[in-house]
Chains A and B, each alone.
Chain A
Amino acid sequence: MEDELIKIWQSSPKVEQVKFEKSRLILDLQSSLLSLSRLAKYGILVEQIAVIIIVPVFLYSIYWVPHLLSKIGSLWIVAWSIWYMSLLRRIKRDKPQEQDQTYLDYLNQWKSYLGQNKKLTGSALYWYILPPITGCILFALGFYLGNAMGFQRFAVHIGIFLILAIIIHFYFKWIIRTVYNPRLSKIDKLIQVMGED
């Protein structure tokens, strides 16, 4: 009777033939998302390390710098850094996981995750560039007004901050164009191709 079980089990009708044509798209997207995950992982790590270094330095400078504007600038940078750290943690936490979901759900999760991050990157001028630049300008302005820095040196500092801000702004635009848009379009295409009955 025990062998009979095996015989019965294997008597299931053989009704299947698998056709396989253009599933390169799945692998293509998989490798694309994997490279993005790696990039994001190291990017977040680098930013977190930078924040860990910045916070104590500017905390100390609140105590150390003489001028009030520099103190406010330092405090502003510390507050922004702490907020930014929490944002990085949230981005890391919200990354799609492959648990208890179908592949379609997985694709939709990635779509929503990338969509949110794209939006966030698109508005980086207001939360990533302007706040720390404002802090840095206040910090330098304190030194200038406190006569610890000449006008020329102050102007050079401001110039560097502004150039950095412009470079970062266009870098983010480039990230949206080369990182987010192609992946989102691949996901859309895959959902469309695979979702058709």
Chain B
Amino acid sequence: MYWRPVTPMDKDLKDIFLNALEEHQQKLLRICSVYARDDDDTQDLFQEVLINVWRAMPSFKGNASIGTWMYRITLNVCLRIRSKEIKKQRKMLRLDSIRVISLQNESRDNGMDAKLMKLRSCIKTLNDADKAVITLYLEELPYKQISVITGLRENTVAVKIKRIKTKLLNCINEMS
């Protein structure tokens, strides 16, 4: 028999993982979206993030909040795996155990969609470090948490965010 029986540890890990995922998956997915080329690419990157988070679960010590820890892994994965690398592999990793499924078909505000597209496009023009900082800011993470995740000092984070916001607003205005 290949599959070993479920142990209590597995079950605990799985529960922690699923609860944290339920809380943070939208945010993680949005972060992935700025490092990916398109929606397919985003989903591939998101899969990769989930696999890495799951693999790292046994080493989660609880020193930081699980959210902070997941953001850190997400950024690491997004930064180290270039979308072009993913595209190069025609057969991308597919987990039948971790699957992203479309749920929502509700009508959406076209104006908001257009703005979102512009914002994403503008974020994609930033360098990797700025992308990381601004996506965490847009997820409304406090400066302190952004600082813990990125390893930057809080002051640096604040200065960077101010500068990037101006840049983004200019970029969006130019596109309009």
Classify chain B's interface size.
Answer: 35 or more
Known: A15-B104, A18-B99, A19-B101. A102 touches B93 (CB 8 A): yes
Closest-by-CB residue of B relative to A25 is B3
Q: Is the CB of A24 within 8 A of B80?
A: no
* Inter-chain CB contacts under 8 Å: number: 137
Within 8 A of A (CB), among B84-109: 85-86, 89, 91-104, 108-109
Interface residues of A in 1-60 (CB under 8 A from B): 1-2, 5-6, 8-28, 30-31
> A11 contacts which chain B residues (CB < 8 A)?
109, 112-113, 115-116
- Shortest Cβ distance from A163 into chain B, in angstroms? 38
Contact: A194 with B95, CB < 8 Å? yes
The number of residues on chain A lying at the interface, defined by a beta carbon within 8 Å of a beta carbon of chain B, is: 40
**In contact, B97 and A189 (Cβ under 8 angstroms):** no
With A21-B97, A27-B13, A102-B85: A6-B138 Cβ-Cβ less than 8 Å: yes
Render B142-165 as a binary contact track against A, CB cut-off 8 A, 1 for contact. Answer: 000000000000000000000001
A12–B108 CA distance with the chains assembled, in angstroms: 10
Q: How far is the CA of A13 from the CA of B30 in the complex (A)?
A: 10
A2, A15, A30: the one contacting B102 at CB < 8 Å is: A15
Interface code A170-197, partner B: CB below 8 Å = 1, 0 otherwise?
Answer: 0000000000000000000100011111
What residues of B have a CB within 8 angstroms of the CB of A197 in the complex? 91, 94
Does any Cβ of A come within 8 Å of B61's Cβ?
no
Q: How far is the CB of A187 from chain B (nearest CB, A)?
A: 12
A14 CB, min distance to chain B CBs, angstroms = 5
* Distance A14 CA – B100 CA, assembled complex (angstroms): 11
> Taking A20-B18, A27-B13, A27-B57 as contacts, is the C-beta distance between A12 and B92 under 8 angstroms?
no
Query: Does A100 sit within 8 A of B, measured CB to CB?
Result: yes
Which residue of B has the minimal Cβ distance to A6?
A: B138
Q: Assess the B80–A99 pair: CB atoms within 8 A.
A: yes
- Interface residue ranges, B against A (CB under 8 Å): 2-4, 6, 10, 13-14, 17-18, 21-22, 25-26, 29-30, 33, 46, 48, 50-52, 54-55, 57-58, 80-82, 85-86, 89, 91-104, 108-109, 112-113, 115-116, 119, 135, 138-140, 165, 168-169
Interface residues of A (CB under 8 A from B): 1-2, 5-6, 8-28, 30-31, 99-105, 189, 193-197
Q: Which 6 residue pairs are nearest across A and B when measured between Cβ atoms?
A: A9-B138, A23-B97, A104-B93, A21-B97, A19-B99, A8-B115
Starting from the known contacts A5-B138, A12-B26, A25-B3, 6 additional A-B residue pairs (CB-CB under 8 Å) come to: A5-B165, A12-B30, A22-B96, A27-B57, A103-B93, A194-B94
